[in-house]
Amino acid sequence: MFPGRRRRLIAALLLILSAIAPAHAASLDLTPYRGKVVYLDFWASWCTPCHLSFPWMNEIQASYGAEGLVILAVNLDRDRAKADEFLATDRGQLNILYDPKGDIARQFNFKDMPTAILIGRDGKARFVHSGFEIGKENAYLADVVSLLHQKAP
Amino acid sequence: MKIRLRVINGALAALVAAAACASCTASGPRPWERDLMARPEMQLVPYPLQTAADEHVYFSKEASSGGRGFAGGGCGCN
Amino acid sequence: MQLKRRKAGRVGRAISAVSATLLIATAASCENSAVAQDFYGLDKAGRDNFGPGIAYTEFDGALLIYQEAGGRVQAIEPTANLAIHGARGQQLTLGAVADAVSGATPNGAVPSDRTQTFVTPLKPQGSSTTVTSASGGSTVIQLPPTPGQLASAALGRQYTTAPNTLPMDKGFRDHRAALTAGWSQPLGWVSEIGGGAGFSREEDYQSITANVRAAKNFNSDNTTISLDLNGEFDSSFPFGGVPTGLTAMNAQFKPVTTRHKTQLGFVLGLTEVMTRNWLMALNYSYDSQKGYQTDPYRVISVVDPTSGEPTSTLYENRPEQRKSQSLFWDNKVAFGPTVTELSYRYFTDNWGISSHTVEASERINLAKAWYIEPNVRFYHQNAANFYRAFLVSNVAFPAYASSDTRLSRFDAITYGAKIGFRVSGRSELYVRADYYTQSGDGHPANAIGQLRNQDLFAGTKAAIVQVGYQWKFH
């Protein structure tokens, strides 16, 4: 409908608008991760088990990143400063997404903090880990590995 | 006394009904909105020795006692 | 759970790519929040890493000092609590309390415009609270011989009360020690199951308690239902033995040495996280107590029907059955650096007592490590149906009668404040002071003769001070 030049103009306008407009409706696009196993972890600075999950997530990202594991740690703090304090010591090498208003979280409708949603290579959510308990790391890892062993569609 | 009992019985019935219906509809904040509940001072009894001392004083000087419960609130993690 | 797929289209893809990039980059938070500094900020040295999923221990210690006005009761009570939290929600709690109470306490008799004399059993020498002639304003007296005896070797303790003064027994002293232990953990689908026991012993009283409890969370942990079943077995072994109710006060050792009381009860609770800021709890309690519930040291005056002068003094007598219920509604609301608490309790029992309690407090976090918390409490109760300020000599005595102010109709106000200081990310020191006053009708309509010129309300005014320390560690 729109000829080429107008399309580029509209795209540029929208780019500028989204840059200056408030970052409403945080969104999550997982299409770049098709063919990989995505460990989508929802965390916050006030969630004490999250302090335990970060070192473990860093471990498995390092061990299984080559096989196609991508960890996306979605922060749900309303106050960015608190998330930064947490990350200052705990981040490691993880990818962090910010969802201060819970827009992404709301789409997944989970019931616990922290929650990790394991998404297979086909883009479908396969496992949900509610909470993070030390002692259950092997069970969590078994789920990750079973998704890694599935072939990409 | 009869009216008092009726009030109490009514309140108890409401409590039981509310309890039975607690999971009927999802209500309250989402799990990621529990940041304020995670604050230590937002527990129901954040200073147990202070609360115990007050209850001891009032139990010794008044005819009524007790009433508090023990569970709920907090960050809801794990 | 299916992912929401964005509609295809170049514009759509461009937007989504941009927004994802913006999110991943360190874009400034757009939220223009005026949230004050978090009191328990995560500083590197003392990371606030205490909560669910993490094993840690918390130690609480406190010292309570209680002092009533007018030379009445004073008490010192050190307390300590140890809570060991496991990583999977288990909790072991150990507690210890000791208290030393002394001072003067009203004995229950009415004031008179003449000097009054009271006699009570004398504690033998060697006991920890010997009353000598010099202490407590009491004197040792020789008891008159019993019928058939020529003389008596028995001794008693006598004290007098000046005219127009509230009769008080000044030789009151007691020490108490108590231990408690409790355990709770999640079990299967039950969010929390646990139990506990306690033992308390003082010079003339012993109490053994036990409870079991369970709680279940629903609704993403926003709703919690709980039930606590509790029982208590008490033994009263007053000095001088257990007097028979409504018999004359005397210095003889009574034949019955011990009486017991049992209590069974439950607390049903509903806790609800109403909104992100507001926590609400509603608790219903029921208690049934059977057995000896009289105060063995307390007396009631019998007065002349015309002059109002006390003619005799009798031991009080309370019913042996008490059933009570209460409804407690608690609200805590967090706004920025403050936490507001507002609670109401309604209590009623089959002794005819009903009461209303309203408590409010406002905690304000200041600067980085301090907070202040003013508080106020309003209390109103009406009298037990067997409460009598005095008995009249020409009226048949009721089955039960007590002049204990604690069972009378009165109002009470407490106001005070607390200051706390976060010593580090894992420990806190606090001090609080409250002033508690009771007020009631000292000139009831049924006052006779000289009683009309006396203040018949023996309520308390007291200062409550407590210093405490909380310390968490791994």
Structure tokens, C124: 């033998």
Cα separation of A74 and A100, whole Å? 9
Task: Identify whether the C-beta of residue C232 lies closer than 8 Å to the C-beta of residue C209.
Answer: yes
Question: For residue C219, what is the nearest residue in chain A, using CA coordinates?
Answer: A111
pLDDT of residue C146: 72
Three-state SS letters, B6-61: HHHHHHHHHHHHHHHCCCCCCCCCCHHHCCCCCCHHHCCCCCHHHHHHHHHHHHHH
Given this model, what pLDDT does residue C16 score?
Answer: 40
- Beta carbons of C117 and C84 less than 8 angstroms apart: no
Say if B23 falls within a structural domain: yes
For residue C283, give every residue at least 6 positions away whose Cβ sits within 8 Å of its Cβ, in sequence order, or none: B67, B68, B69, C267, C268, C269, C270, C326, C327, C328, C329, C330
Identify which of C60, C221, C406 has the shortest CB distance to residue B63. Answer: C406
Structural domains for chain C: 56-473 (2.40.160.40)
Q: Reply yes or no on whether the pLDDT at A80 is more than 80.
A: yes
Is B70 in CB contact (< 8 Å) with chain C?
A: yes
Query: A123 CA to chain B: closest CA distance, Å?
Result: 24
Would B35 be classed as within a structural domain?
yes
Which one of C15, C30, C42 has the shortest CB-CB distance to A85?
C42
Report yes or no on B73 lying in a domain. Answer: no
For B68, the closest of C328, C332, C351 (CB atoms) is C328
Q: How many structural domains are present in chain B?
A: 1
Give the gap in angstroms from C-alpha A63 to the nearest C-alpha of chain C.
Answer: 23
More confident site: A3 or C251: C251
Chain B residue numbers with beta carbons less than 8 Å from the beta carbon of C345 are: 64, 67
Paired sense of beta strands C278-291 and C259-273, if any:
antiparallel
C435-453: b or e for each residue (b if 16 or more CB lie within 10 Å)? ebebebeeeeeebeebbee
**Run of H or E including B5:** helix B2-20
pLDDT digits (tens, 9 = 90+) for A14-35: 666 655 555 566 788 888 898 9
Sheet-wide strand order for C155-161: C116-121, C155-161, C138-142
| Rounded-to-integer distance, Cα C84 and Cα C90, Å | 8
> What phi, psi does C386 have (nearest 5°)?
-105, 10
Ranges A108-117, A144-153, B65-74, most confident: A108-117
- Side chain identity at A6, as an amino acid letter? R
What strands, in cross-sheet order, belong to the sheet with C391-392?
C310-315, C299-303, C391-392
Q: What is the 3-state secondary structure (H, E, C) of chain C?
A: CCCCCCCCCHHHHHHHHHHHHHHHCCCCCCCCCCCCCCCCCCCCCCCCCCCCCCCEEEEEEEEEEEEECCCCCEEEEEEEEEEEECCCCCEEEEEEEEEEEEEEEECCCCCCCCCEEEEEECCCCCCCCCCCCCCCCEEEEECCCCCCCCCCCCEEEEEEECCCCCCEEEEEEEEEEEEEEEEEEEECCEEEEEEEEEEEEECCEEEEEEEEEEEEEECCCCEEEEEEEEEEEEEECCCCCCCCCCCECCCCCCCCCCEEEEEEEEEEEEEEECCCCEEEEEEEEEEEEEECCCCCCCEEEEECCCCCCEEEEEECECCCEEEEEEEEEEEEEEECCEEEEEEEEEEEECCCCEEEEEEEEEEEEECCCEEEEEEEEEEEECCCCCECCCEECCCCCCCCEECCHHHCCEEEEEEEEEEEEEEECCEEEEEEEEEEEEEECCCCCCCCHHHHHCCCCCCCEEEEEEEEEEEEEC
* Contact criterion met (CB < 8 Å) for A95 and C44: no
The pair of three-digit structure tokens given for residue B33, joined into one six-digit string = 């909105």
Angle of CA points C234, C235, C239, to nearest 5°: 140
Between strands C310-315 and A125-130, the pairing is unpaired
- Among candidate residues C265, C269, C278, the one with its CA nearest the CA of residue C349: C265
B78 chain-A contacts, CB cut-off 8 A: 49, 112, 131-133
Query: Model confidence at B2, in pLDDT bands (50, 70, 90)?
Result: low
Q: Which regions of chain C are under pLDDT 50?
A: 1-46, 128-134
CB contact under 8 A, A80 and C31: yes
ipTM: 0.86
Q: How far is B26 from chain C (nearest CA, A)?
A: 6
**Residue B25: what pLDDT?**
55
Cβ–Cβ of A48/B77 closer than 8 Å?
yes
pLDDT of residue C367: 81
Residues C16 and C37: their CA atoms lie apart, in Å, by 34
- Flag whether the pTM goes above 0.90: no
Whether B27 maps to a domain, the answer reads yes
Note whether residue B26 is domain-resident. yes
d(CA C118, CA C159): 5
In angstroms, the separation between the Cα of residue C92 and the nearest Cα of chain A is 19
Q: Tell me whether residue B70 is in a domain.
A: no
Structure confidence by residue, pLDDT tens digits, C395-424: 999 999 999 999 999 999 999 999 999 998
Q: Do A106 and B30 touch (CB under 8 A)?
A: yes
Encoded tokens for C267 = 């607390």
Q: What is the pLDDT of residues B31-75, one digit of tens each?
A: 999 999 999 999 999 999 999 999 999 999 999 988 888 888 889
Is residue B25 assigned to a domain? yes
Residue A1: list chain C partners with CB under 8 A.
none
DSSP assigned state of A52: H
pLDDT of C152 reads 65
- Nearest by CB to residue B32, choosing from A44, A48, A49, is A44
- In DSSP terms, C172 is beta-bridged to C103
Give the pLDDT score at C95. 97
Of B43, B31, C48, C217, residue with least CA distance to A113: B31
Residue B63 contacts C where some CB pair is shorter than 8 Å: yes
Dump pLDDT digits (tens) for A87-109: 998 888 999 999 999 999 999 98
With a CB cutoff of 8 Å and minimum separation 6, the contacts of C297 are: C107, C120, C169, C238
Q: Using CA atoms in the order C393, C394, C398, C401, what is the torsion angle rounded to 10 degrees?
A: -20
Q: Which residue range is the domain that position B48 belongs to?
A: 2-61
Per-residue DSSP letter, A99: -
Q: Would residue B50 count as lying in a domain?
A: yes
> What does DSSP say about strands C299-303 and C310-315: parallel, antiparallel, or unpaired?
antiparallel
**pLDDT, position C171:** 74
The CA distances from residue C311 to C306, C308, C391, in Å, are 12, 9, 10
Angle between helices A80-90 and A48-64 (to 10 degrees): 50
The hierarchical CATH code for the domain A31-148 is: 3.40.30.10
Give the mutation candidate from C200, C213, C276 for the B interface (greatest B CB count, under 10 A): C276
How far apart are the CA of C20 and the nearest CA of chain A, in angstroms? 7
Q: Tell me the sheet residues that pair with C436.
A: C414, C462
Q: Are residues C4 and A107, on separate chains, in Cβ contact within 8 Å?
A: yes
